[in-house]
Chain A
Amino acid sequence: MSDLQSPASAAGKATDEAPTESTAGANAPSATAKAGRSFLPQSTLPRHLLVLALSAVFAVVLLEVSSPYQNSQIATLSYYAIAAGGLTVLTGMNGQISLGHGALMAAGAYTTALFLDADEPLPLPLILLASVVVATAVGALVGVAAARLHGPYLAGATLALAVGLPGLAIYFHDIFGGEQGMRVRAPQAPDAFESFIETVSGNAASSTKWLAYVGVICLLITYFFLANLVRSRIGRTWRAVRDQEVAAELAGINLGAWRVLAFVVSAAAAGLAGGVLAIVVRLAAPSGFTLVLSLALLTAIVIGGLGSLLGALLGSALLVFLPPFVTNLGADFGLNGTEAAQLAPFVYGVVLIVAMIFAPAGFVGTIRLRRMTAKAKRASAAQAKAAGSNGG
């Protein structure tokens, strides 16, 4: 489910034209090409449902065998991954760059915070849905402007959003709590959850565990929707807009409208991510949504492989697990606390540079590129052998 596979890709005839390297992660071998080896159903929806079910089982097992602290890391991972998933659809599938996803997350987070602040808060799913709606509305506004812009201009416009939107929370500090933000009372786990955990593993159903489950459920639902969307006619149209504007327009595609749609979908994911962030962090404050957050999301999808949901997940995992790992490693090597803490951003930077040099298409993209190249070589060799006399 986590693969945004392109049935219309050039897998079978890759020799004619090299695939675009940076978005190789998005251009997976088509399902038909894989069908010979795959045990998964060929039809998109059943296949994604199956992967969803398997992922859900895997997630429950993972959450139950891991420690409470790892549960909390998984909760953190889930909100990064939801936002990165949305961003990778926008950037990898539709070719638009956004430096403003941190601000869209802020829109979702503040919505959740405001709704949970009520005396009788609505049920959590409704609140998260409201966060999605608000972020979608903001995304639609930005998307309309963004549809006219390209490359660095679009980056600049969304950068302004990232810098400006959190400032609103400071300006209207009576509503949004200003610089120190709004504290969020994390919603209590329902009784059904406790009995579920009791039956599954017998672990204590702590609030940390509940938040991790909320995060993972949101993550799975988001990725399921995004994966289906990308495999549909919508996804194909987005890729057409990304790869060849003129050809797409000749084919009757309204470029602007489809770009706005991509931005809106991506914003919806960011909104949900913001909502999850608010309840996991228990705070919505401007200092949580700085430009650093937007850039971190962008680096996550680039390292993972543009356009690939699996890549977005891997990139987010790196964001969450690498800093504490490096800090602890540094401390083990005898660095003091401050030096060890300073090591983490440095190592992250090095990883980013090394990934750019040796795996410019990201983890997932590079592996796919290798597989596609190998397959193309085999195919052309076979072609040459079989039809050499025809000058193939």
Chain B
Amino acid sequence: MTAIAAATVASTLAACGGGDDGGGSSSAEGGENEASDTGVTADSIKLGAHYPLTGVAAPGYSEIPTGVKAYFDCLNQEGGVYGRDIEFIFKDDAYNPSQTSQVTNELVLEEEIFAMMSGLGTPTHSAVVDFLNDEGVPDLFVSSGSLMWGDDPETYPMSFGWQTDYESEGKIIGEYIANEFPDAKVGLFLQDDDFGEDGESGIRQYIDDQIVAAERYTPGNTNVGPQIAALKAAGADFVVGFNVPSYTALSQLTALQLGYDPQWFYSNVGSDPNLVGGLLNRFSEGKVTDAALLDGALTTGYLPTVDMTDNPWITEFSRIWDECGGEGELTNYRVYGMSQAYTMTQALQAAGQNPTREGLVEAVEAVGSEWEGPVFAPFRYSEDSHMGTSGMTIERVVGNGSEEVQPVRITDIGDAEIEEFGGEAATPPANAIPDEEAYEG
């Protein structure tokens, strides 16, 4: 990039009302915004996603798109990406794969989105992952910790994970227990699918000999009495749950009935104290009113949470939610959505002034591992891996918040070592809008 080109383009862009969009990186291409690919026009980029907005999986998860949208709305007010507004369209699939397939057809064929981002759920998204890859639609930052999106880029070149995968999470939990609770008799409470399986295989790498029982529940069956009773009978005094929030509430209530009081450790997915507190209240018909039962339980974290009011990311996200969000409070699910939108903005900036679908994927592979943001640890993106972030803290639930008991440690799937993460926590740039350079290839 020459200095002359940089100067001309900077002035052109300032005229578009952009100002600080993309900054110096915008100079790279030179020239005007073009409709460079499907879903991209001179002044907009269309992104799409599917979420359960109705039905059993809707509580909590339906808040994620509101966070994404609030972030993009504020970003658009500041000039968007290279002067383009981000248009974010999300559709309801009610957590039913056949509906995911229908709404994805609508997004790709009718709305003609540039890329899918943040499509939620393992069974739901696996119904469309082949279609998206066949059609060449970038499938970024799937909202699920399954390994499927990231460990095989040859089969799914367009798909990328985002959150810590369940296997890495299991490994970090396993190591922590081996170090801090070497005498604990550990019981596992697992969802009977990849979620529980991946978590179990990770945790067994470290404490296979400490595990006295592994009980599985089937999602949809609300009676977990047999499983909890079996954990109690096996003498487990430390229970690790790889389960969704409603089963955190169910396991707590069942344990209360059985007079069973082990040390609980819930994986990140199932541990949001606000949501679990609400569910406890509902399931117990008002007999348990908040998440006090969860007090003292351990969990993991890869993102700042709303109770960390002095975290600069949370401060920025609160401001964004107040300015561009809708009704209600900033929740952890909205923080999750905003963080994904932040990463997406980094990806679009890196894809350059006139992005193409292939260019976007190339840029994420090439420079995605260098991005800093609200996520504690770096992403693992490369040509050989499309896995998301790899690091997690261990936290203890206190009231509706949590306190850190072990700083971020990072690892990878398989037999990769667990290491301490040496990096500093990133601080948000001005207005929480990233400024990534265009990747030149």
Residue ranges of A at the interface with B (Cβ–Cβ < 8 Å)? 67-69, 71-73, 76, 167, 170, 173, 178-181, 183, 185-186, 207-208, 277, 280-283, 285, 287-288, 290, 292-293, 320, 324, 327, 336-338, 341-342, 344-345
Out of A68, A180, A283, A327, which one reaches B91, CB within 8 Å? A327
A283–B101 touching, CB < 8 Å: yes
Known: A173-B192, A337-B53, A337-B65. A186 touches B130 (CB 8 A): yes
> What residues of B have a CB within 8 angstroms of the CB of A207 in the complex?
134
Nearest CB in chain B: distance from A136 CB, A: 22
A283–B193 touching, CB < 8 Å: no
Q: Which residue among A72, A285, A341 has the maximum number of chain B CB atoms within 10 Å of its CB?
A: A341
> What residues of B have a CB within 8 angstroms of the CB of A167 in the complex?
218
Q: Interface digits, B95-133 against A, CB 8 Å rule (1 contact, 0 not)?
A: 111100111011001100000000000111011111100
| CB-nearest residue of chain B to A181 | B123
> What residues of B have a CB within 8 angstroms of the CB of A282 in the complex?
101, 127-128, 130-131
CA of A290 to CA of B218 in the docked complex: distance in angstroms?
A: 14
Residue ranges of B at the interface with A (Cβ–Cβ < 8 Å)? 53-54, 62, 65-66, 69, 89-92, 95-98, 101-103, 105-106, 109-110, 122-124, 126-131, 134, 146, 191-194, 218-219, 326
> What residues of B have a CB within 8 angstroms of the CB of A69 in the complex?
105-106, 109-110
> What residues of A have a CB within 8 angstroms of the CB of B54 in the complex?
341-342, 344-345
A287–B95 touching, CB < 8 Å: yes
A76–B102 touching, CB < 8 Å: yes
B109–A180 touching, CB < 8 Å: no
> What residues of A have a CB within 8 angstroms of the CB of B194 in the complex?
178, 180
| CB-nearest residue of chain B to A331 | B89
Q: Which residue among B90, B105, B192, B193 has the maximum number of chain A CB atoms within 10 Å of its CB?
A: B105
Given contact pairs A186-B130, A282-B131, a sample of 7 additional A-B residue pairs in the complex whose CB atoms are under 8 Å apart: A71-B109, A170-B218, A283-B98, A283-B126, A324-B106, A338-B53, A338-B66
B192–A185 touching, CB < 8 Å: no
| CB-nearest residue of chain B to A173 | B192
Known: A69-B106, A207-B134, A208-B109. A327 touches B96 (CB 8 A): no
> What residues of A have a CB within 8 angstroms of the CB of B66 in the complex?
336, 338
18 contacts between A and B (CB under 8 A): A68-B110, A72-B102, A73-B105, A178-B194, A180-B123, A280-B101, A282-B131, A283-B123, A285-B97, A285-B127, A287-B123, A288-B127, A324-B103, A324-B106, A337-B53, A337-B90, A338-B65, A344-B92
> What residues of A have a CB within 8 angstroms of the CB of B53 in the complex?
337-338, 341-342
Out of A180, A183, A327, which one reaches B130, CB within 8 Å? A183
| CB-nearest residue of chain A to B108 | A69
> What residues of A have a CB within 8 angstroms of the CB of B130 in the complex?
183, 185-186, 282
Q: Which residue among A76, A292, A337 has the maximum number of chain B CB atoms within 10 Å of its CB?
A: A337
B96–A287 touching, CB < 8 Å: yes
> What residues of B have a CB within 8 angstroms of the CB of A344 in the complex?
54, 92
Known: A173-B192, A180-B122. A281 touches B109 (CB 8 A): no
Out of A67, A180, A342, which one reaches B126, CB within 8 Å? A180
Nearest CB in chain B: distance from A160 CB, A: 15
> What residues of A have a CB within 8 angstroms of the CB of B134 in the complex?
207
Out of B105, B146, B219, which one reaches A208, CB within 8 Å? B105
Nearest CB in chain A: distance from B196 CB, A: 10
Nearest CB in chain A: distance from B116 CB, A: 15
B109–A277 touching, CB < 8 Å: no
B109–A67 touching, CB < 8 Å: yes
CA of A67 to CA of B151 in the docked complex: distance in angstroms?
A: 35
> What residues of A have a CB within 8 angstroms of the CB of B126 in the complex?
180-181, 183, 283, 285
CA of A342 to CA of B127 in the docked complex: distance in angstroms?
A: 22
Nearest CB in chain B: distance from A118 CB, A: 17
CA of A183 to CA of B156 in the docked complex: distance in angstroms?
A: 13
A285–B109 touching, CB < 8 Å: no
Nearest CB in chain A: distance from B70 CB, A: 11
Known: A67-B109, A69-B105, A287-B123. A281 touches B219 (CB 8 A): no
Nearest CB in chain B: distance from A316 CB, A: 13
B101–A336 touching, CB < 8 Å: no
CA of A179 to CA of B97 in the docked complex: distance in angstroms?
A: 11
CA of A186 to CA of B218 in the docked complex: distance in angstroms?
A: 28
> What residues of A have a CB within 8 angstroms of the CB of B97 in the complex?
181, 281, 283, 285, 287-288
CA of A336 to CA of B53 in the docked complex: distance in angstroms?
A: 11
> What residues of A have a CB within 8 angstroms of the CB of B219 in the complex?
179
CA of A197 to CA of B101 in the docked complex: distance in angstroms?
A: 24
Q: Which residue among A71, A73, A285 has the maximum number of chain B CB atoms within 10 Å of its CB?
A: A285
The 8 A-B residue pairs with the shortest CB-CB distance in the complex, in nearest-first order: A341-B92, A69-B110, A283-B127, A69-B109, A179-B193, A72-B105, A341-B53, A68-B109
